[in-house]
Amino acid sequence: MDLNGKKILLGVTGGIAAYKSCELLRLLQKKGAQVRVAMTEAATRFVAPLTFASLSKCPVYLKDGAVEARPFQHIDFPRWADLYLVVPCTANAIGKFAYGLADDPVSLCFMSCTCPRLLAPAMNVAMYNSPAVQRNLQTLRSFENTYVLESPAGELACGEVGSGRLMEPAEIVSFIERLDERRKTKDERREMVEGGSLPLVGTSSPTTPSSGGHPRNAPAAPLASDSLPEQDPSLPGHGRTVLITAGRTEEAIDPVRYISNRSSGKTAVALASVFLANGYSVEVVAGPMEAEFPGGAAVHRVRSACEMHRAVMERLSGADVLVHCAAVADYRPKDPAESKIKDSRSQLVLELVPNPNILRDSVAAKKPNQVVVGFALETDHFAEHAQEKLHKSGADALLLNAPVAKDSGFGFDNVNYALVTPGEKVPEMQMGSKVELSETIVDFVNRKLEERHG
């Protein structure tokens, strides 16, 4: 869906993740969309309506009315919209939507809405996994024109760990931009079902779980069951696997000290999300990192470069695509101390040895039809260094990124990047989100696989 000029109604319910709806609103506006906001009374306790009114430049639809409120906002707002988002969507709102209850602005708009509806649940893991919430989510997935984003696992605001996190705003925007493809595919599949030529996957009745599953028995992707990429044979990644390296590596000096590189893991998470949205089965070999992966990715945890090298080489043969996104330490201490080195304030000399080059070794061992993409983080002489690394590695492409611009790079959502390919001039670097960077890589991979497989 091209968001430029689209009218989007944003429903905000009462959860701690409500503050992320402000970021979502701004991202939608940057894409050219017009946004109006409806809020439950509980949501106003987390974010003031004035914040959304200021950002959207439009009165917020509230239970007690709004400035310049009209008596039929519950009809006018959804009738105005091309798309209705409920972000975050609490367990209470999910229950209301499933059973047709409408007693606040967000549920009233859901009831009278005829445009596509997208819900992003966010709550405590115990609530999310409860039979009632899961049953209600299944009911909503069976509704026409309704899409439910599953909640990725990770650390929650309450300190617990598990499913129930709100999908990141940039990932939600990426999902929306591909919504037309999903709706077209879903309609085509429904026509085939009604014609008796294809069983419908993922649109089971509220009381019967869908029997559709992942072709490789990996964890479910963080998307609605009626639009799961791995269940959709028309998507370019259907039946294919991508292996992504992520995070950083830590090379032990002693049991408490180590050598490492900077990496939050945000780029790898964006990559996993976009590959999932394209129908790929996603495996990740991840070193230490702060960002959390969506639930559809199978994540294998490692710590050192040698552990990452071993894990990649073990899984190499089962992947169609490899993307080396991890910040791997080039060197490690030759003889790590078995106990903590005592602080004597005297000089300490560390002898370092090179770590294995995971990118080069995977290229050397790859099959002819596999696609390998590497990363090159540079701080100067960008084009020369990127071309040199691409030539030495033998990869199909190299994503050049430079974390030197203000408010970009490590830990930020934006980065300066360019995709470098053999025999081509290094393109002008551009500033964009890590989701946009990921889309650039996935589009290249899709084209490359199409060329090789026909």
Query: Would you name the residues annotated as active-site residues?
Result: 158
- The 8-class DSSP code of residue 14 comes to S
CB 440 within 8 A of CB 368: no
Closest CA to 88 of 155, 147, 49, 39: 39
Closest CA to 88 of 21, 9, 159: 21
Q: Strand (E) positions, 71-193?
A: 83-89, 117-121, 146-148, 154-155, 161-162
Q: Strand (E) positions, 186-238?
A: none
Crossing angle for the helix pair 169-177 and 434-453, to the nearest 10 degrees: 40
Please count the other Cβ atoms lying within 10 Å of the Cβ belonging to residue 340: 11
Q: Three-state secondary structure along 326-381?
A: CECCCEEECCCCCCCCCCCCCCCCCCEEECCCHHHHHHHHCCCCCEEEEEEECCCC
95-105 burial code (b ≥16 CB/10 A, e <16):
bbbbeeeeebb
User: Token pair 């069983």 is at which residue?
Assistant: 199
> Which uninterrupted H or E stretch holds 219?
none
Distance CA 432, CA 365 (A): 33
